[in-house]
Amino acid sequence: MKFELKKIFSPSVFLMSRFRYPQKFLIISILFAIPIALGAYFFVTKINEEIKTIHFEQNGLKYITPTQKLLKDVQQHRGLTSIYLGGNTAIAQSLTSKGDEVEQDFLELERVDAEVGSLLRIKSEPSRIRDMKNEWNEIEQAFDKGTLTLETSFRTHTNLRQNIIFFMDDIADKSDLGLERHLDTSYLIEIFINRIPVISESMAQLRVSGLMLPAGKSLSSGEKQIFISLSNTANSYLQKTNRQMNAVFQENPALQSDLETVLNEMTEATETLLQTIDEKIIQADVNTIEQDAFYVSTTHFIDKVFDFYTKAVPVLDRHLKEHVDELERQRNILFFAVGISLFLVIYLFIGFYLGVKMTIDNLRNATGRMLKGDNEDGVSLNTMDEFGEIANAFNIIINALIVSNSNLKDNLAKKEAMEKVFNEQKEKLKNNS
């Protein structure tokens, strides 16, 4: 077995025996460092990419927030316009104020685009914002000219609303919001992008459709079917939202305390509106809606839907920041561990090399003492490794040499004594003769 091991490792023995210790350790260190360095590089690269993605998502949220506000105000403007064109001119001031809010929403969207658009590598969005603003200006101009009717108002407002939704979807794609890997944040983002806009738009269309109905009108089954379809859509997306939020709460219980109350308020508001539509329109023989009260109550309910978004976005942003902090902590731990390991490797290598040098110096000094005839001390090494075995073997040789030298001296002394006796006897014989 030993012979086989020697045969297997003979190439490495042959190679390593050609180098001095610094060279040996340099070769071994490089062979160890290459895979460690590659692993650390890929790990840090992955962390940096994920951090970059989260920063993209945070900037995407900054972009989508004023877009959600624009969506909400356009929907409310559509409802107020329907009331005004239906004959209630008393809300003219409210309609004007809401129009001013839409203008401010566009200004805010342009400001955010200038702030984070370049960070998201978005180059076509300023033109799309201008296109949406042009649509809005056409609605305002048609209203000022008196050419806007209930039907055209509904259609043009709805087209603008649809383009706002498309705009939000594009922002979500370009800011990687749809690529979030964590279930809790992924579901929240999906709710912001795909659930709330549908719920709010279905409720807003229920509002404007109800406002467009003349008081006391008897609805046909086809007209009722429109309300049934919008109600079913809002209810379906509300149920999906609640299921996803329950999954979010299970995945991250800390979010439940922040979002459960506002989720319940949104759910209750939506269900109340759908119940009102069912009782006063779908199940009623004639329309019993009072326009002003209906607009105020439905707007309150729809605002609760947007309140969920408004209150949930800071929570999501904080949660994304926590992800970044955790990733940065992992990266810092890796840097610290690699730094400590590198320091210990260098420190221990220097210690080992100095230990080897001290052993060689002790052996050299012991050899010098042997040559001078001082063989009493031997070699003393404060080590427990293989060099200790070398020192023990060296001391055995020294002891054997000491014994051999002592025997040689005794033999020489005996020989000299015998020669002396022999010479004395020889001298006596010579004198006697």
Biggest CA–CA distance in the chain, Å, is 175
**Contact, 242 vs 236, CB < 8 A?**
no
195 class by beta-carbon count within 10 Å (0-12 exposed, 13-18 middle, 19+ buried): buried
Rounded to whole angstroms, how far apart are CA atoms 177 and 58? 9
* Strand boundaries in 207-349, DSSP class E: none
Q: What pLDDT sits at residue 23?
A: 79
Rounded to whole angstroms, how far apart are CA atoms 411 and 90? 138
For the chain, the domains span 43-334, 375-428
Rounded to whole angstroms, how far apart are CA atoms 282 and 286? 9
Tokens representing residue 90 in the block: 């008393």
Q: What pLDDT sits at residue 381?
A: 61
pLDDT, averaged per 10 consecutive residues of the chain (433 residues), comes to 65 71 78 82 86 81 87 90 84 90 92 78 68 92 89 90 87 70 78 86 86 78 88 92 91 86 91 88 82 84 88 84 88 88 82 76 72 62 65 71 73 77 74 68
Sign of the dihedral through C-alpha 165, 169, 175, 178 = positive
Q: What pLDDT sits at residue 243?
A: 92
Kindly give, in sequence order, each residue whose CB lies less than 8 Å from that of residue 281, ignoring residues fewer than 6 positions away: 210, 213, 219, 224, 227, 287, 289
* Strand boundaries in 77-226, DSSP class E: none
Q: First and final CA of the chain: distance in angstroms?
A: 77
Tokens representing residue 431 in the block: 């004198």
Tokens representing residue 159 in the block: 């087209």
The dihedral region occupied by 137, where left means phi > 0, alpha psi between -120 and 50, and beta the remainder, is alpha
Count other Cβ atoms within 10 Å, centred on residue 423. Answer: 10
Report CA dihedral (123, 124, 127, 131) to the nearest 10 degrees: -150
Q: What pLDDT sits at residue 362?
A: 73
Residue bearing tokens 């052993």: 359
